[in-house]
Chain A
Amino acid sequence: MKSATSRGNTFLALAGLAVASMPFWATAYHMQLASTALILSMFALSLQLLVGGAGLVSLAHAGFFGLGAYTIYLLGPVSILISLPVAALTAGVAALGIGALALRTSGFFFLMTTLAFGQMLFFLFHDTPLGGGLDGVFIQRPDTIWTISKAQRPTVFLLLNLSVLAAMYAGLWLLMRTLFGRALLGIRANEHRMRAMGHPVQRLKLAAFTVAGMLAGIAGHMAALTDAFIAPDLLGWHRSAEALLAILLGGIGFLHGPILGAFALTLLEELSPLITERQRLVEGAVILAAVLLLRRGLAGIGR
């Protein structure tokens, strides 16, 4: 996985500025749409640490996203300064436990076990009264930092989501430059060689799985905050597949790929109803096209 060059980062920063300037020229509806894309970007970016970083395809990732979202409901109305770290911690602890078990397997078995563990988290909120039941619940937004009027919400959440995504991207960009990041790429390229060279492969993978889970929890937290609604579907494996699609569409070989993919997917979901009501057919066709034709993703076009 390549990190963006300085030119690429300049481009990303300009795109970020364009999003940040939306309150001056865009409608509330489009700012909410941009927030949706930013949150999907965070979620897919957190998964990219596993997929593009360590070569681990996990279907449990939506479980950690959902845990982060449900943290807000379970905590009640507290400041975001408390709920955000708690969401990251909760998702991180769950990822540590599930990763410790799932990483005992590899290949097909890893896919299947992460699928089953992800569904286990889903059932936890779907079948038990813990999280308000299977129909989902509206949550009370915490606004103890400052009081936000209803009209200000789209602007505030847009800027908040943009800042969190920017911080997450910068953090991962730096992380991939450390020895830890290099070792993950080594595992993806050749796990046996890394083991033979004396790297603690298992522990590195578990660390990546945990960090990715924490970041997914943060993304879920932001989703719950933005939408003020949570439902067990947030944890379902279809959402994990959606994040994988964002990664593949954007470019699995690039750290910024998932962001491009997430924006492209959000745009597609917004525009495709204009052409046909058959949403799933469109999504299926896009996946087939992305997998079979766009081998290096949007980020790889022209390279």
Chain B
Amino acid sequence: MLNKLARWSRIKSPWILHLNSGACNACDIEIIAALTPRFDVERFGILLKATPRHADVIIATGPATRQMRDRIIRIYDQVPDPKFVIAVGACAMSGCVYRGAYNIMGGIDQVIPVNMYVPGCPARPDAIIDGVVKLLGKL
């Protein structure tokens, strides 16, 4: 019964955490744009949260830099179970143009498991919303 309620509330109102692990801000401003009046994801109950302890879904942008590696793992551990990760943009998927640079480990999936990939450089707000909705459909 309680599980059913938790699952219902998670689908109806997923709270997201925005994690930047070395992105160029392009995907980040597109995520913020998805929260503002033109796209307005709040109508789906999606809220941006500042702390990982409140979040259900991590939206990760940018390639994983060596300096951020331990912090990414710490943030992932702080998110309560069950947790989901969406990698937004080509950098979070594979490293994009930065692939091969000495401080880049590759995509975010080199560090934490990823549930959903949203391609694009940067991904459009519509694509990000589509990614979140498809993830919710899998729950």
Tell whether A pairs with B: no
